[in-house]
Amino acid sequence: MEKKITGALIVAAGKGIRSKSIVPKQYLNFGHKYVLEKNIENFINEPLIDFVIVVINEDHSELYEKAIAKINNPKLLPKCFGGKTRSQSVKNGLKAISEIGCKKILIQDGARPFTSNEIIKNCIKGLDKFDVVFPAIKIPDTLYLEVKENNQSTIDALGLNRESLIRAQTPQAFHFDYIYRTHMKCDEHHTDDVNLALIDKKKIDIVSGSEYNFKITTPEDIKIAEKIFVNV
């Protein structure tokens, strides 16, 4: 029986402005390992993953080479360069692997280094029954609508019912042919790729995410990640 190739596309072309870090967050090094290095290893070490490709900022080539210096695995394909938006970067990555016969593709944020083996497996296996699979978690906090009054933040009204809201995480898993065709014909920017499938009314499944599977975004996130890396 023909093997169905499954890959991971890690989008790491961002500059990390919100983190206020001098070094882009995916290239932070917490003593013995880079954020991006740990992220790549999570997928390379999963037997169900056949290859990993990383999309980087063209200006970050030197940082990238340092981050992968200790990774010696044929699963890691040559890097490719991203675009001005996340959507453009995903599109560039999909183009780079369009001829290798990939059947399932997981699209992962570059600065999300603690994705578990269980989440990766569940996303891949979920594609046997669904068009799209992604991890998400519930929102435990009460939500309000924030407004500005005299340059001061306050609240205007109670927000949406938290029971009907979830926080989307990555990796987001797709059948390659679908997400490739969709990105090739889409010129709009989307903050994630599940939204494209939602617009197309695809059959979408949600698997359990994790609070540990967070995306490093803020200075506080960097402090939390540093503590976790001590035990990695």
Expressed as residue numbers, the domain containing 82 is 5-229
- The reported pLDDT for the residue numbered 22 is 78
Contact of 173 with 104, CB cutoff 8 Å: yes
Greatest pairwise CA separation for the chain in angstroms: 67
**Residue ranges for the chain with pLDDT beneath 70:** 1-2, 16-21, 232
How many CA atoms does the CB half-sphere of 188 hold within 13 Å? Answer: 8
- The reported pLDDT for the residue numbered 186 is 82
Query: What are 39-91's pLDDT values in tens digits?
Result: 999 999 999 999 999 999 999 999 999 999 999 999 999 999 999 999 999 99
- The reported pLDDT for the residue numbered 19 is 46
Could you tell me the CATH number of the domain that includes residue 29?
A: 3.90.550.10
Structurally, how many domains does the chain consist of?
1
How many CA atoms does the CB half-sphere of 228 hold within 13 Å? Answer: 18
Name residue, tokens 């210096």.
69
Report the C-alpha dihedral over residues 209, 93, 11, 34, rounded to 10 degrees: 110
Report the C-alpha dihedral over residues 42, 45, 47, 52, rounded to 10 degrees: 70
Closest CA to 34 of 62, 70, 58: 70
